[in-house]
Amino acid sequence: MERSERGNVSSSSELKITVTFRPAALVEFNESADWYEARQLGLGEKFVSSIDTAVAVIVATPKRAPTVYKQVRLISVKGFPYQIYYRLLGEDLIEILAVFHVRQNPKIWQSRS
């Protein structure tokens, strides 16, 4: 279950927004999906779907989430103890810094900002 590094997503305003995952965030995402899938068949796919839904919310309303560190914003993933840390790099580019379990040390993702 691999996620590519970049994806184009259209928002309702028809502006093409590019979402880029930092390499470390992509590793976290893929490893977490694999971990859930190994625990229960289909759970990894549900995790991926929940991440995709959260990313779609970010794209639709990128400034809605609170800023938690420097210019980094945070959104929780529904149904899983994960959060997505991201920042806006202009009107049409969103960078995902981390797909992080809530119990992980935040200093890890903070070093990426």
Question: Cβ contacts of residue 78 below 8 Å, gap of 6+?
Answer: 50, 53, 54
Neighbours of 56 (CB within 10 A): 13
pLDDT value of position 104: 80
pLDDT value of position 6: 45
pLDDT value of position 33: 95
pLDDT value of position 63: 92
pLDDT value of position 22: 92
Question: Cβ contacts of residue 14 below 8 Å, gap of 6+?
Answer: none
* Residue 27 one-letter amino acid: V
53 lies in which domain range? 6-110
18 found inside a domain: yes
CATH number of the domain that 15 lies in?
Answer: 3.30.2310.20
Mean pLDDT per 10-residue segment, the chain (113 residues): 48 72 93 96 96 94 92 96 95 93 79 69
1 found inside a domain: no
81 found inside a domain: yes
100 found inside a domain: yes
